[in-house]
Amino acid sequence: MDKAESVFRYHTAMAFMRSIVSKGILGPEDLPAVSDTLAQKYGLSLWSIFLDSDLLCRENGANMP
């Protein structure tokens, strides 16, 4: 499996997991652990820019304190 296919499969799985969260089966606090597990499954680094990590700080409106 090449990198593009790995990223595609990761995002497809994460979209499914977000739908599970929206149905209330899992809580939003479970998504980071799911993201890590899926990244490992598809051979992506946990620090990859292709992951669903929210890099902006929402508490400060995306501004540094």
Total domain count, the chain: 1
> Residue 25 pLDDT > 60, yes or no?
yes
Asked if the structure places residue 55 within a domain, the reply is no
Tell me the average pLDDT across 16-41: 94
Residue with tokens 């593009």: 4
Asked if the structure places residue 28 within a domain, the reply is yes
Give the pLDDT confidence score for residue 55 in this predicted structure. Answer: 53
Q: What is the pLDDT of residues 38-61, one digit of tens each?
A: 999 999 998 888 888 665 555 555
Give the pLDDT confidence score for residue 51 in this predicted structure. Answer: 86
The boundaries of the domain holding residue 15 are: 3-45
The structure's pTM equals 0.78
